[in-house]
Structure 1
């Protein structure tokens, strides 16, 4: 995932807070949330522990800020990918093209929200809630795209599940082709609903 969210981060936050979030994001995504302690973050960010705790009162607060940062990156990049398409149907499939590019990047480690939920949900209801909110937002977005393209909300849910499954499977297996396979499955679902719609009109 690229960093189109950086500009948003720097515009909406002070530089010190932004640098801490960026350092934490890189460390957490590469090594995991539990494995990265405050001392490692101090070293990466170049900010003293005292200053870190002044900006963020707890590690949980930093994790939540990182998840907000990642959510905005996701929203911005998906919107950019969709804007390149010339039809509602093409926008539905563009998510898989976006995922294909992300999966092929050397830094790909899966969905940060799934990672955070898996590591921290049992001890941090706030992290669990933030991860759930991100997934609900993506679900609503895919439902909206489906309706705009003349399909059902349920189809949007199905397409969202394909995208989510592709992220998890690609992260675990290292097989970046999961995005292309999910795209082909999505095309089949679109074709099936289009055929049903045509049959209902005859």
Structure 2
């Protein structure tokens, strides 16, 4: 197994375990076993658990942005539909059998207070999402303040759906987004 293959196996196993069980609950031995690599190889690639957590969050960030960009692109050229595509994407995500909330919110809740690097990564991810929303809002011609409102709505939907286990939260958030968008663009 190449170094890149071992790294990928470790990150895939870590992402699944951390998301399912929590960051603090997963030890290096459990991760090593799930990835099918030796403890020596694990530590050679990731000298500390924080290194793995950071790499998993970086990987998750790239996956999130790629999937979100795909959903937005699939909505076509209508600026309103591109904004609403964010909430359709959330609904699809919430309906997956393994949805357990936002991995970034989960990481921040578990580790953000004691691991400044995790807090920084989470803040950057959330800022990136707000930048995405700001670009979509600007393209719609709506006031810039709408971006923060729609971002907060999406973030709240993620937390609420994780806690309630109800994927319909995304549809409710989309309906609220429609009201906000229509009010902002009617001005």
What TM-score, normalized to structure 2? 0.96
In the TM superposition, 1:39-58 aligns within 5 A as 39-58=29-48
Instruction: Structure 2: give runs of 5+ residues left out of the alignment.
Output: none
In the TM superposition, 1:143-158 aligns within 5 A as 143-158=134-149
Tell whether the 8 Å contact from 1:34 to 1:119 is kept in structure 2 after alignment: yes
Aligned to 1:10: none
SS of the equivalent of 1:14 reads: helix
Paired residues in the alignment total 184
Q: Decide which of 91, 95, 105 is 1:100's aligned counterpart.
A: 91
Q: Decide which of 160, 183, 186 is 1:169's aligned counterpart.
A: 160
SS of the equivalent of 2:58 reads: helix
1:122 shift after superposition:
1.6
Tell whether the 8 Å contact from 2:84 to 2:174 is kept in structure 1 after alignment: yes
- Tell me how large the CA RMSD over aligned residues is: 0.9
Aligned to 2:118: 127
Provide the rounded CA distance (Å) in 1 between the counterparts of 2:40 and 2:182.
58
1:175 shift after superposition:
1.1
Instruction: Structure 1: give runs of 5+ residues left out of the alignment.
Output: 1-12, 198-202
CA-to-partner distance for each residue in 1:39-59, whole Å, 9 max, x for gaps? 110110011111100000100
Aligned to 1:25: 15
Provide the rounded CA distance (Å) in 2 between the counterparts of 1:147 and 1:194.
11
Q: Which runs of 4+ in 1 moved over 4 A?
A: none
What TM-score, normalized to structure 1? 0.89
1:192 shift after superposition:
1.0
